[in-house]
């Protein structure tokens, strides 16, 4: 594996270790070329699930692309999507695809099932 690939993996890993697990939405400014919308989403999500913790299950990198498969757990203790807190645990999995250029994430897409999370907090399953 090249030094660039290792550096790119470390950059993307910081999404989960700093921005999510340390509950620091402002870390998006250091990680993403276009950070404003990411920071806003993370801030709002952490207001609803302040104890949210992500685990990186798998990471693959090639050239300037990094893919992470993750899982997350937290508790719904703040408003989200118009719902008042149900104080129920949630668990979800997802995949993030990130493209890096000049030590910043210039494109990313995260796939996760928001409907599954809504069903868990409204229905109590996890």
pLDDT per residue over 90-112, tens digit each? 999 999 999 999 999 999 999 99
User: 45 with 72: CB under 8 angstroms?
Assistant: no
How many whole angstroms separate alpha carbon 29 and alpha carbon 45? Answer: 17
- Model pTM score: 0.91
pLDDT per residue over 11-47, tens digit each? 999 999 999 999 999 999 999 999 999 999 999 999 9
User: 93 with 109: CB under 8 angstroms?
Assistant: no
Choose among 78, 66, 80: nearest CA to 15.
Answer: 66
CATH of domain 3-123: 3.10.450.50
């Amino acid at each position: 594996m090249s030094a660039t690939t290792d550096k790119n993996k470390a950059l993307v890993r910081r999404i989960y270790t700093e921005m999510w697990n340390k509950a620091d939405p402002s870390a998006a400014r250091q990680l993403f070329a276009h950070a404003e919308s990411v920071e806003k989403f993370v801030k709002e999500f952490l207001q609803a699930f302040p104890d949210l913790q992500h685990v990186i299950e798998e990471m693959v990198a090639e050239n300037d692309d990094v893919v992470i498969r993750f899982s997350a757990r937290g508790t719904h203790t703040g408003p989200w999507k118009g719902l008042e807190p149900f104080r129920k645990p949630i668990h979800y999995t997802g995949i993030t695809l990130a493209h890096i250029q000049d030590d910043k994430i210039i494109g990313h897409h995260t796939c996760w099932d928001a409907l599954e999370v809504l069903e868990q907090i409204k229905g109590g399953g996890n």
